[in-house]
Structure 1
Amino acid sequence: MKKAIAAANLVASNNETDKYDIIVSADTVVVFEGKIFGKPSSSEDAINILSKLSGETHSVITGVCLRVRKPSSGDSFITFHEVTTVKMARLERCVIEAYVNSGEPLDKAGAYGIQGLGCSLVERIDGDYFNVVGLPIYKLCKHIHDFLHDVS
């Protein structure tokens, strides 16, 4: 959540305007056995992460920050998170290496992208698919709708 809030603040500081707007920022991590996995630092790190997740269930958590810019009354923040459970298929080392060599997992939390080739590594999910992609769209739209309804 801290990273999402920091990103919203950075955008706001670089976007001086008199108009009303909403800044959305998010950060996604994978949690397995109490360990937090962000983006892998290298191909070797990606292989290690995927080897740990192979055949196991983990959580994907996205923290979201909405910074609502209101020049007349100051900014307000809405923060929330979403958790989705993912069961990874049992992966052979050669499959993990081929996937990592594609380059796809190197900029993804948990070293896989469910929206790309990584979908073939996932056995099932319980929860919001778009949360695993990196932004829980339904919950985001619900919060924006609720906010707009409150101000109207």
Structure 2
Amino acid sequence: MSEPDPATLWIADQPLVLASTSRTRRNLLEAAGIAVETRQPGVDERAIEEPFSSSGAPIEDLASLLAREKALAVSRREPGRLVLGADQTLECDGRQFHKPVDIAAARNQLAALSGKTHHLHSAAALARDGEVVFEVVSTADLDVRPLEEAFVTRYVEVVGDSVLSSVGGYQVEGAGVQLFSRINGDHFTILGLPLLPVLAFLREEGCLAS
């Protein structure tokens, strides 16, 4: 391999393919110095979840399964390319939560999380030519402080439609941090991508300067 370009940390011949249209995940990767191209994975997440839900498997396993399926779907369409898939699931009291479908659902979800600890499971999988070459899952535990109904209503009004863009109805890097009394976990895990182990793998693969 040629000497790394001092102007960039990414030294692979081609950019990493992100099997997602998530702006947050793309921003995390690019901020870390990774050249990224995005692809729509085109997988039916609910069809994958349906048989899983009746299997009794841990909810964090679903995040891993979805990340793998996204990476594999795109890697089969992109021969020779390294493809990253990622997903995140939220669990509270043994119940799985999804992105709220509307503002009313967001308010109900925040009320359900009020005063409780929930768990964010973030998974990543890297695939090449239809085979998974690396995968990881990481969990963060978040304590939501008791929330008055008036605060939930005001919070939703303040953050607007962004409340619909994440599985928890919040962004901890913004006003969503006011929902919590304690956060225990990796910051990148909370944002939906266990970035540090992904970076370590990419360095081992010779994609990043080390």
Output the TM-score relative to the length of structure 1.
0.81
Deviations 1:43-71 (A, max 9, x none): 222111111111211111012111135xx
The match for 2:194 is 136
User: 1:16-55 to 2 correspondence within 5 Å?
Assistant: 16=79, 20-55=80-115
Deviations 1:11-41 (A, max 9, x none): 223334xxx5421111111110001112112
Unaligned ranges ≥5, structure 1: none
Does the aligned pair in 2 maintain the 1:63–1:79 contact within 8 Å?
yes
Aligned residue among 138, 144, 154 for 1:98: 154
Question: Is the aligned partner of 1:13 residue 2:69?
Answer: no
Q: Which amino acid aligns with 2:75?
A: A
The match for 2:59 is none
| SS of alignment partner, residue 168 of structure 2 | helix
Does the aligned pair in 1 maintain the 2:110–2:152 contact within 8 Å?
yes
Aligned residue among 66, 72, 80 for 2:126: 66
Identity %: 26
The match for 2:116 is 56
The match for 1:124 is 182
Asked which structure has the greater RCO (Cα within 8 Å, sep 6+), the reply is: 1
Does the aligned pair in 1 maintain the 2:117–2:141 contact within 8 Å?
yes
| SS of alignment partner, residue 95 of structure 1 | helix
Does the aligned pair in 1 maintain the 2:125–2:132 contact within 8 Å?
no
Unaligned ranges ≥5, structure 2: 1-63
Output the TM-score relative to the length of structure 2.
0.61
Work out the number of aligned pairs and report it.
Answer: 142
The match for 1:115 is 173
Q: 1:140 to 1:103 in 2, by over 3 A?
A: same
Instruction: Compute the RMSD of aligned alpha carbons.
Output: 2.1
The match for 1:80 is 136
User: Higher strand fraction: Structure 1 or Structure 2?
Assistant: 1
Give the 4+ runs in structure 1 shifted more than 2 A: 13-16, 74-77, 98-101, 142-149
Q: 1:76 to 1:27 in 2, by over 3 A?
A: closer
